[in-house]
Structures are given as C-alpha cells and as structure tokens.
Chain A
C-alpha cells in the first residue's frame, strides 16, 4: 500500500518536475571512464566540465565506474541518472559497443548524448575528442625527425580492443613506416605502467639497437623509461608518449621522456558540457568536434605539469 502511495506521489512529483524544468538550470551528466581522483587525465576533463558548468549555469553530475574495465557499472550509472531525470549526457564510453543500447534508450527518452574522448557507435551522436590517428602521426613525425633513417623502433600499444588503442597504433605505424624506420616490435601493454615496463624489457633484450619507442600512452611510456634506465639505455633511445599527463610532462622537462602528445582533455570536459547543453536546448551541433593535439617537448613541458 505504502509502495503504491509513494509510486503515485513520485510520479506526480516527476511530472510536475518536468513541467518546471524548462525555467530552471539544466542538469548535465558527465560520465568518464574512471574517477578523476585516480587519473590526472580525467581530473582535467572534470575541471573543464566544471568550468563550463559554472559558465553556463549548468547543474553538473560527475560519475564514473571504479575502473575502466567495469563496463556494467557505467551502464548502471547512466540508467540511474536517466531515471532521476538528467537533461543531457556527455560520456567517455568504457566500451562503446556495450554502452550503446543504454544511450539509445537515453536518446529515445529525450536525453541528448555527446561522446567525449572515445567515439561511440550510435549513429548521429557527436564526437568531441582527439583525432588519435593524427595525434599518433604527430608523435611518429617527431621520432622520424630525431632518429637516423632505417633505425629500429618499437610501438607499445594500448588495449588493442579499443578504438583509441587501435587508432594510436595505426597512426604511429603508418607514420614510422612512411619515413623509412624499421618497426621491430608492436606489442600491447594495455595502458599500464608495469606492463609497459616489462614489455619494453622484452623488446630491448631482443633488439639492443633500438633507437625509439612510441608508447600509446604516457603510463606505458614511463614504464618504458624505467626499463631503459635499468638497462642503461635511456640516453640512446627516444621515448615518445601520449596524453601529456603531469608525470610525463615532468619527465619530458627532466629530459628523460623525449616528447609526448597533449590531448586537450580539459577541452573535452568543457566542450562536452557545452555541447550537451546546446542539444538539451534544442540547438544543433556538428558531428565531429576536434579538441586538437599538440607536441610537448622540453620547451613547453612546463605548461602541462
């Protein structure tokens, strides 16, 4: 009985709530792949989102699964927030395929969605993020400019099951091949520092003449540097990372990592909220919004620390 009463009151409240919503601040949900507290990249996405929320007067909800692999936690969070009644969602999908149905549900029930950082598979949903192929090509170009032609080089791949991992692997591979470098190893280290280190140890054992390593993210790059240090090879090998997280920027400034690629993660959060709001207000936005990449070397590393 109590249940039914609360059901009736609840639906009434929901109904009246939706009537009032137009005159009030919109609520936008930012769903990232991992908590900002655990990862500087997501922290900067969150910072951008918060700044946008303040600027546009948006009520911002930030939620993320405990780790990137916990796909169903992200699905549940989105589901719960739709039930609660958000006006728009900016999401970095943990697994674009698996979250697609729930986002279709959201769109069907009138909640607009934009993807940030990682593109999804839902048709007609705007992607706001880095063009990872271009970013990786930028890294490859730096390596081409800094090692002799024909040198041995290696690529540390991210999770190759993900589009981001695939694009960075593709962009770097094409770039390094195009300028005549000899790719001796392309191995996944799953975005992880420890794995980056152990994979690098294996690579340098088999290829002592290696001249450059492209790590698909900074964590793996920092692992690679550790391995090279231990083998006393760091002075001979150019290491280029991706993401320009503060640790990596510090490493670049200290002359250990040669370069990294900055994604404008702040832009992803900021533009994600901005564009989700536009959609919620009935405006239209382009299908692809590039947040850009830039090469970070010793000269500009300080800006990213």
Chain B
C-alpha cells in the first residue's frame, strides 16, 4: 500500500452554540485505502464527514488535501479537490435514466452555433465506459433509476460520485437500505474503487461491511477519537466495544 496521504484532518473541533459535536478529532487516509468509521448515533461521524466535504466549516483545526492546507467553503470546493459524497438518501432523480443521473449538473454538451445542446451520444458512451470500469451491470445506461433495485441504485450513486476522477469517496451507510444479496455487490464495488486507486471512507454500523472491505477502522465516541486500528489487528467484538465506549 502506498503511503501517500491524500486527505488529513488535524485537530478538528466543531461547536454548535454550546454543544461540542467534534472535539480535537484527527483523521487521515492514504491513496487506495478503505477506512471504516464507526460510532454510535451522535458520535460525530456525520458532522465529521460534513466538515470533510465542506458542507460545514470546522470551528478549529485544519484540513490537508494531498499535503496542502485547504479552506473549504462549499461542497463544490471539495468536489474540485476530488472528494465526493455518496449520500444515504442517494440523491438520485428516479425519473431520469442512469446516465443522466451520473452526469447531472455536469452534462456533456456540444456547441451548435451560440447554443449548447446535450450530447446524448457522448453521455451514453461515457456512462457505459464508466459503468464497465466499475464492473456495474445494468440492462442499459438508459434505464430509469426508479426501475433499479436498491443495490443498483447504490451502485449508480457511487458511479455518479466517481465519474469525475474522484480521489476520495465518502459513503454514508452504503448498505443500510439493501437486501442481503445486494450487499455483496456494493462491497465488491468498494474493493473495485480501491483497486483503481480511489480512497474510500465507509461509515457503517454493520461489522460485516467493515470487516470485508476496510483496511483500517477508527471509532468516534462522543465527538472524540476513541480508538483506531488496522483491521488485521482487531476483532469484531473489540470494534463493537469501541462503539459502546468500552476499551480493554
């Protein structure tokens, strides 16, 4: 595994009025690494991810992308730096085909005179290439998202997040809403991204997810770094203990 650190958060704190959501939290992830983030509800996982993606501004601490200190003012900024979020509610438009969803807001266009028209052929070609790269199987790139299964939708959401050379993808509970047989496909997809050199942060409650794809796992407890370990050095019971705030 390369030791190139693509994202690092140092001493991040976030206060909402008198409430401390994050207190001096550190996180780093290297290229092609899959990091599992666990913690009970309210442990600060979501807040941390929102800080990483630029949706929230940290109260204290600094962010480094590929070693450079950055100031994020909106999700747009983090996207430009190669960080993409896959939301738990998927953020897909069910009435639109897969390709339209993947390229929503960034549609390829062709110029005809002074006008920009959608380049349907190019979008379709790019979609097919991208789906093939991620080994995502669907009937056709023109299929509407609402006709897809939960796992396929999750795959489209991930495809959307990675369509523009993402370096880091954050996934919030990627398997929570899926049927058992579909979970495997999404986990395969995560490993696939890893093999393509993409770093993935997976937030999950499911130990099966964590233990089948992650290289490293970190636990947050009441807004602080609680524990962290390479996966090979820990066990399910230990990680479950961390979530509940117990350390041996």
- Whether A and B touch directly in their complex, counting CB atoms under 8 A apart, is answered as no
